[in-house]
Amino acid sequence: MKILQLKITLKDVKPPVWRRILVKDDITFYKLHRIIQYAMGWFESHLYEFTLGDMIIGEKGDDWDFYDRYELKSAKRVKLSSMNFAPKDKFRYVYDFGDDWRHDIVVEKVLDPEEGVKYPVCIGY
């Protein structure tokens, strides 16, 4: 298991809104979604997706047929470790398709876990 240092930046807002977090790479994208929600002070009441190149990772809503045109991978099944992230890798997180809160996520570092540290940890904002 590795630790990913991620910088999450909310796009198109001033002043800049961002968080720097440390997460285990053995968590799912669903868990990362929940961590981002908590770090940003949101309430997990809308749909979301992660985009990594041509891959879309998320969850279908009950009445959401948009993804029928795309192969949507389940955020509850795909682990971050399966992406083999390296420093400078980037991906996108979108929350609330109505308001379209877009976030750029950059992998800043790949670290070994520190003994005694309970992850996830927000280390900057």
Q: What is the pLDDT of residue 71?
A: 76
Structural domain for 41, as ranges: 3-124
Q: What share of the chain is helix, strand, coil (3-state, %, to 5)?
A: 15, 40, 45
The strands making up 101-111's β-sheet, listed across from edge to edge, are 72-74, 55-58, 48-52, 90-95, 101-111, 3-10, 17-24, 121-124
- Specify the pTM: 0.91
DSSP state of 119: S
For residue range 36-94, list pLDDT tens digits in order.
Answer: 999 999 887 788 999 999 899 998 765 555 555 567 899 999 999 999 999 999 999 99
- The first and second tokens of residue 122, run together, are 């927000």
Spatial distance between the Cα atoms of 26 and 65, rounded to a whole number of angstroms? 30
Domain count of the fold of the chain: 1
User: Residue 49 is part of a domain; what is its CATH number?
Assistant: 3.10.290.30
For residue range 21-30, list pLDDT tens digits in order.
Answer: 999 999 999 9
Q: What is the pLDDT of residue 44?
A: 78
Amino acid code (one letter) for 91: F
- The first and second tokens of residue 34, run together, are 């929940």
